[in-house]
Amino acid sequence: MPRISKYKRKDSDRSGFQFYEIELVKDGPWKVAGDEFDTPPPSRLPLGGEGDISSGDIRQSGSQVSDTNTPADVENPTVLITAAGGITPVFTHPWMRISGSGSNLTITATPNIVRGQQDQLLTLECVGSSVTLTHGSANAINFMDSRGTLRLDSGMVLTMIFNSGNAAWNESSRYRPSGG
């Protein structure tokens, strides 16, 4: 005599999922699993819907917002960099947007970035024209791969931490949109 399994596969009419070890329930013309069963809300209060009137305050027709400018205290402006001026960190925002002053440039200032304080975090986001930084103790920058220069192209993000032990900004991460 063949053995009949008490666990049969059942397909839900609503979701099409397969269920084992449970009985399906009738919900109107469909057989569904217990957790798919449509039940009314536990409250007898109406949930509201289209056409219901809110009990909140009515806004006057002249009270529309007219100023959509970002407030100056939360705006993150782009800092235009010059080759001789280098980068002076601004820590009023989580990151600093930088761009060459209208053209691609290599920073010649020594140091490239003004030295900071122990454990300061500096995130540079390049927007617009590229800025090239030079690795080395005189420039107060150490890249992870120790290569001579790093070109920050538009969209690239470079994060550094200042270490007073080597008096330099040490790269902790970089993001290049093209995946490089």
Helices and strands in the chain: count of H runs, count of E runs: 0, 13
Q: Can you give the pLDDT at residue 169?
A: 95
Per-residue pLDDT reduced to its tens digit, 25-78: 777 787 777 666 666 656 666 666 666 666 666 656 555 555 556 666 667 888
Every domain of the chain and the residues it spans: 8-40, 78-175
- Through-space distance between the first and last CA atoms of the chain, rounded to whole angstroms: 67
Q: Can you give the pLDDT at residue 32?
A: 78
Q: Can you give the pLDDT at residue 177?
A: 87
DSSP 44-68: -S----TTPPP-SPPPPTT------
Helix (H, G, I), strand (E, B) or coil at 136: strand
Residues of the chain under the 50 pLDDT cut: 1, 4
Question: C-alpha distances in angstroms, 89 versus 75, 79, 92, 124?
Answer: 16, 10, 9, 9
